Amino acid sequence: MNRSSKNLEIDPVQFINRELSLLRFQRRVLSQAADPSVPLLERLRFLCIVSSNLDEFFEIRVSGIKEQIRLGSRRVASDGLTPKELFLQVSQAVHEIISEQYALLNDSILPALAREGIVFIRRGTWSPEQQAWIQAYFQDHVMPVLTPIGLDPAHPFPRVLNKSLNFAVELEGLDAFGRDSGAAIVQAPRALPRVIELPREITGVEHGFVFLSSVLHAHVGDLFSGMNVLGCYQFRVTRNSDLFVDEEEVKDLRASLKGELQQRHFGDGVRLEVADNCSVSMSDFLLHQFNLSPSDLYRTPGIVNLVRLMQIPDRVDRPDLKFPPFVPGQPKVLEQRCDIFEAIRKQDILLHHPFQSFEPVINLLKAGAEDPQVLAIKMTVYRTGTDSVLMQQLMRAAQKGKEVTVVLELMARFDEEANIAWAAKLEDVGVHVVYGVFGYKTHAKLLMLVRREDDRLRRYVHLGTGNYHPGTTRFYTDFGLLTANDEMGADVAEIFKQLTGLGTASALKHLWQAPFTLQANVVEAIQAEAAIAAAGRPAKIMAKMNALLEPETILALYEASKAGVQVDLIVRGPCALRPGVPGLSENIRVRSIVGRFLEHHRIFHFHADGEDKVYLSSADWMDRNFFRRIEVAFPLLDNKVKRRVIKEGLRPYIGDNCQAWEMLPDGKYRRRSPRGTRRSAQAILMQELGAR
């Protein structure tokens, strides 16, 4: 059992399975692709996002389930399902999602794109001019980098990269050496583009594309001279991509992680995708090669990797088929003052991304790098991207002689390689790079500048709910707080001391910190609200997060509901709590918002007898965030800022009737329908906070 639930009495009827709930979230994303009110190229993008999400779901979640089955585990989760039972339900749900996904693509989105002059030209419809152009393209750009591998005792089945595009070829006849293996594998190097645009003069449309798979299918015979090609089938294998580093064995985390990353592409297979024309004998052969069962096979009526279509909205210049451009606004106080340190001293400043710009955070670091009065800069980094202006400013600050410390999380999933590269670059210019506490991911978003002012040192702090990644701040909803509050600064300084040094955890004045106090304080705040309700006074909880899974917190919410607390939860993704169950959770409502931007902020609001305690956090209410990560939740001490968060981060979402999905007691979701005035939280915030 996990740390929080080991002493709890868990009734499986009260909990919904995490994986099945996560798959229901994918259905909500898929509904965006089916929504005719969403611009056409954005519908295609949402379709691709589902595929990308499912890839990660198999790489991490399904691989974990299969590993439990392999080890013979009969461990029952809080929802009562064994690993084998869960795998069967997951397999069925994913097969249904993929079937709906391809039906939507083939029957709706592709025909609609064709009507707009964006055509994916099928191999059977190529004109003579198109065939000639494609043949030349194959000979000049594709064939020189292909390595066909005939399967025989001297050529065993090749190592196939995770999620790479491959072709299984069935052959007939003898080759130059008299061999008759009957099968070959052709791997498509990742350097080759998966989607190729043809010249407009030979397509007759504004944008005419062919898939690399179609090009190779048409000319695969050129790779096997004199032999008869009986069949050519796309396939793709998804592999276990979770990384494991042994705490007792590791001496250098960065070096150990580099070694693990080399093997990520060749982990155990967990899913095989093949084109729907693949012969049964070939699909059985491939399943055997990857040690997979028939339930791991997914036949696709189209290309085996829809993620490759993600590039199309960016390559096609059709603004009318995309979301209207949006320019984020700036807080008025920063528009009025050019000295960012003076502005932060004057008042706490709330940033609401992506409706407001991330530039103030970048400008704070720039000012810190250049200002001779700034003596030290400390920052946590979880995800920041391969080309980060923030990292460049940290390096510049170090080069100018400032004390710069970066707590860099090397184990940020799928960003490990980028973070390792940044670690080397930062160290080369004198930045102190530390990797936090082994066994606990540093997920807290903290930035602190120490500045000399009037014979004293003042701390300027940024705390956030999202990553220091300028790219994602344009698409993820998050809050950031800029403050010079002495007590908040002291708390942040204490956490940095923990992360870089050694010692016991000191009590913090304001911040709730995982793995020490965050979960206990959340549960205590819920219980306090329940006590207020039991005493007959108004009690209310509003909270927004990405996931709600931790059992003790869920049980506390159930007890609060039974006591009469009105609980409104906005949970974007998986939710293990069952709302609206008579006698258990009839006072709890759960909503999920899926729209143009990815909902990402975490907000915890407790009415607290009218005191309105509001916390922002980097943490979801999950076991991993509470007990296996270093996280913070920080209070809003300024009443004006507190009111803004309630007004912008909670109320519009609770009132949303355009992009909101209501969770039902059985774990399914029902989309809210506008009655009267249409209210979209994201549209309201774009209107209110965007640049004029």
Return the sign of the alpha-carbon dihedral for residues 464, 470, 474, 475.
Answer: negative
Q: Strand 432-434 vs strand 403-408: parallel, antiparallel, or unpaired? A: parallel
Tell me 181's DSSP state. Answer: -
**Cα separation, 129 vs 63, whole angstroms:** 46
**∠ Cα 20 234 266 (to 5°):** 65
Exposure string of 28-43, with b = 16+ CB inside 10 Å and e = fewer, is bbbbbbbeeebbbbbb
Whether 217 is catalytic: no
Exposure string of 235-264, with b = 16+ CB inside 10 Å and e = fewer, is bbbbbbbebeeeeeeeeebbebbeeeeeeb
User: Is 173:184 a contact under the CB 8 Å cutoff?
Assistant: no
Distance of CA 361 to the CA centre of its chain: 22
**∠ Cα 229 233 238 (to 5°):** 150
**Cα separation, 41 vs 194, whole angstroms:** 18
Tell me 247's DSSP state. Answer: T
Q: What is the 3-state secondary structure (H, E, C) of 3-37?
A: CCCCCCCCCHHHECCHHHHHHHHHHHHHHHHHCCC
Tell me 586's DSSP state. Answer: T
**Cα separation, 636 vs 614, whole angstroms:** 6
Q: Which tokens sit at 520?
A: 């206990």
At a CB cut-off of 8 Å and minimum separation 6, what does 585 contact? 557, 558, 561, 577, 578, 579, 665
Distance of CA 199 to the CA centre of its chain: 36
Q: Which tokens sit at 483?
A: 């403050």
Amino acid, single-letter form, for residue 231? G
Q: Which tokens sit at 62?
A: 């399904």
Amino acid, single-letter form, for residue 404? V
Q: Strand 183-187 vs strand 207-211: parallel, antiparallel, or unpaired? A: unpaired
Return the C-alpha torsion angle 671, 673, 677, 683, nearest 10.
30
List 207, 219, 443, 469, catalytic entry: 443
At a CB cut-off of 8 Å and minimum separation 6, what does 317 contact? none
At a CB cut-off of 8 Å and minimum separation 6, what does 201 contact? none
**Which residues have a catalytic role annotated?**
443
